[in-house]
Amino acid sequence: RTSRVCRLWRNVSTDKRLWHIAELTTGRIKPRYRNEKKLLWLLENRLTEVSDLNLSGWSEAVTPHILQRLVQLCPHLVGLNLSYCHKIHSENLHTHLSTCHKLQRLDLTN
């Protein structure tokens, strides 16, 4: 909504360099928007420069495919919160996150 206020604000708000910390917990985004398609769009269009990403509660959206794309699209990732993301299993984590060399923090709380 706010990006529609004016062209300047839209240009500023869509600049990928501003998206270093992304707090996408469930309280901030309505459930109908927490889906795989929306998350993939965010990863491809906004979060390529993210260093700290909180996807706590995106249980339906975070799939092995999304995890693979996340690692490919977010090479600067240092912290990742996947709390309550039940579609991800240990073999998925090992396969995909082993290539994420900058990752220092991983939260898998359930």
What domains can you pick out in the chain, each with its CATH number? 2-107 (3.40.50)
The predicted structure's pLDDT at residue 15: 75
Element holding 59 (H helix, E strand)? none
From first to last of the 110 residues of the chain, give the pLDDT tens digit.
555 567 777 777 777 777 788 888 867 778 888 899 999 999 999 899 999 999 998 988 999 999 999 999 999 999 999 999 889 888 889 888 888 899 999 999 88
C-alpha span between 85 and 16 (Å, rounded): 25
Beta bridge partners of 79: 52, 105
Beta bridge partners of 106: 80
pTM of this prediction exceeds 0.85 = no
